Amino acid sequence: MSRIEVEAVTVARGGRAIVNEVNLELEGGQLVALIGPNGAGKSTLLSVLAGLLRPDGGTARLDGTALPAFDRRELARVRAYLPQNPRAEWPVSVERLVALGLLPQLPAFGGLPEAMRARVATALEAADLTAHRDQPATTLSGGELARAMLARALVGDPAVLLVDEPLAGLDPRHALDGMIRLRALADQGKLVVASLHDLTLAARYATQVAVMSDGKLVASGPTAQTLTPALLRQVFEVEACVAGAGTATATVDFVPRSPL
């Protein structure tokens, strides 16, 4: 099973540490919800974990190998990374966009092997996009595009999946579907790290929660123990009500500190 070890990782930008001495250990079987306010450093940390950003201090290792030293093709096979707000840059069909997720496994020449076509079809179906398969990806709605991009990240069946706000803009059914699929992958032994703002979904489906604030990792651990009203109040600066964290019917709600 895959393992990521983060030791004293620091990323400095604009004269400050936007990721500040973060220590974290993650392993296969976990669905880790990375939460925290805007600007906390979640996306920056995820790009370090993805091996796309070399930290200014500390080390991040995947299965014992420092991420910047990983063979690029091997890394692309082992982990998928979905950036925040991904865009379709040119008008390929939705089916081809999803098939791009198989690129690291593709033979260098020739058509798409039959087994890969079947995987693309399965990924499209799971994302509820079969009816859109021939549509130019540039014409999808925001939520449909987000589902297509998640399908592209999942189609290669990576051991490690790093997804940055994968549910942003999804309607309730598709957000639930997406989160349930991420949890199912963790239950199969994959390591899934997802930055999320929907804390109810995090409370229901994440096995672990990692909480960032102002570049620092302020808490991490099993969802039921970590996602407490006191912590959410401290980090998000609003009153939080948490019910049943770590169970299938959990809810997290926020109320303003002073009435209107």
Decide if residue 41 touches ligand ADP (CB under 6 A).
yes
Decide if residue 193 touches ligand ADP (CB under 6 A).
no
Q: Among residues 44, 200, 220, 223, which is the contact residue for ligand ADP, using CB under 6 A?
A: 44
Q: Which does 73 bind (CB under 5 to 8 A by kind): ligand ADP, Mg ion, none?
A: none
Q: Among residues 1, 8, 25, 39, which is the contact residue for ligand ADP, using CB under 6 A?
A: 39
Decide if residue 36 touches ligand ADP (CB under 6 A).
yes
Q: What is the dihedral of CA 58, 64, 70, 73, to 10 degrees?
A: -140
Asked whether 145 and 88 are in contact (CB, 8 A), the reply is yes
Asked whether 60 and 24 are in contact (CB, 8 A), the reply is no
Which of 148, 150, 136 lies closest to 93, judged by CA?
A: 136
Decide if residue 43 touches ligand ADP (CB under 6 A).
yes
Which of 47, 44, 28 lies closest to 36, judged by CA?
A: 44
Q: How far is the CB of 219 from ligand ADP (least distance, A)?
A: 15
Decide if residue 55 touches ligand ADP (CB under 6 A).
no
Q: 14 or 259: whose CB is closer to Mg ion?
A: 14
Decide if residue 54 touches ligand ADP (CB under 6 A).
no
Q: How far is the CB of 18 from ligand ADP (least distance, A)?
A: 3
Decide if residue 199 touches ligand ADP (CB under 6 A).
no
Q: Among residues 4, 6, 18, 232, which is the contact residue for ligand ADP, using CB under 6 A?
A: 18
Q: Among residues 14, 107, 110, 172, which is the contact residue for ligand ADP, using CB under 6 A?
A: 14
Q: Which does 259 bind (CB under 5 to 8 A by kind): Mg ion, ligand ADP, none?
A: none
Q: Which does 91 bind (CB under 5 to 8 A by kind): Mg ion, ligand ADP, none?
A: none
Q: Residues in the site for Mg ion, rule: CB under 5 A?
A: 42-43, 84
Rounded CA-CA distance 201/167 in Å is: 10
Please give the backbone phi and psi of residue 30, each rounded to the nearest 5 degrees, phi first: -105, 140
Q: How far is the CB of 110 from Mg ion (least distance, A)?
A: 38
Residues that bind ligand ADP (CB under 6 A): 13-14, 18, 36, 38-44
